[in-house]
Amino acid sequence: MTAEGEPSITDEEGPGLDDATAMRLLRDGTLDVAGRLVEATNMTLYCSIRNGAHVAACVYKPVRGERPLWDFPDGTLAAREVAAYEVAAATGWRIVPPTVYRDGPLGPGMVQLWIDTDPETDLLALVRSRHPALRRMAVFDAVVNNADRKGGHLLPLRDGHIYGVDHGVCFAADDKLRTVLWQWRGKPLPREAVTVLVNLEHEIERGRLGRRLRELLAPAEVEATWERVRRLLDTGIHPYPSEDWPAIPWPPI
C-alpha cells in the first residue's frame, strides 16, 4: 500500500521482535502517526510506536474511521481484527501479526505490527499455489468466517512465512466465507489441522480464547465460531464454496 506523505520510519528492530515483546510494545508504546495508507477502504494510518528502547512501525485503524457496512454492526471492525489475532494465536500458526485494541491519537482502534513483505513475490502465483502456510490460512479463514480473503491481504516474507491481514469482516453469525484460497475444497483436513481444531473447540467452549472472544464479539458470533469449528471436525474436510453468494471477493487481488 501507499502512504500519503511517504513516511519513513527506521525500523531495524520491529521485524525481529518476538510476539510477546511486540504485544507489550503495541499495548504500552507511544503512537506517532506518519501517514495514511490511501488504498485502504477504512482509515488506516501508518505509525511509529516507541516504548523505551523498543521501536517499530505499525498500522492503526481507529474505530471512528470505519465506513458503515450493511451486514456488520457499526464500530465493530477493529474488535473483529483483534479477535482474529486471538484465534490465530491459539492455533500456533502465527497467521496474523501481533494486534491489540487500544486508545490512540484518533481514539480507540486496532493497532497491528507492520510487516515488511518480500517485494519479489508474485502474488498471483502465490494465490494459485499449494503452499502449506496457505492451507493453514484456509482452515483459519473457515473458522473465523472471513468474508474478504483477497490476494492483497497475504503478506509473504523472505523466509517463506506468510501472514494474513485485514480481518475486519470476519466472525459474522451467518456463513459469509469468501476467499481466493479454494484449492483444497473438499479435501480431507491435514492431521495437523484436526489437532489444532480440537484445541480450538475446547478453548472457545471453556478456555481463555472463549472468554476473550466474548469480550470482543456478540454472543451469537462466538457461538457460531464454535459451531464452525465443530462442523469442520464433523465433516473432516475443507469446506466447499457456497452456492448462495459469490465465493471469491472482488477484486480478488
Other Cβ atoms closer than 10 A to 241: 15
Judge whether 65 and 42 are in contact, CB under 8 Å: yes
Q: Which three cell numbers stand for residue 230?
A: 465443530
Longest dimension (CA), the chain: 53
User: pTM value?
Assistant: 0.93
Which helix or strand (DSSP H or E) is residue 194 part of? helix 191-206
What is the pLDDT tens value at each position of the chain, 253 positions in all? 434 443 444 444 445 789 999 999 999 999 999 999 988 889 999 999 999 999 999 999 999 999 999 999 999 999 999 999 999 999 999 999 999 999 999 999 999 999 999 999 999 999 999 999 999 999 999 999 999 999 999 999 999 999 999 999 999 999 999 999 999 999 999 999 999 999 999 999 999 999 999 999 999 999 999 999 999 999 999 999 998 888 999 989 8
CA distance 68 to 52: 37
Residue with cell 473432516: 236
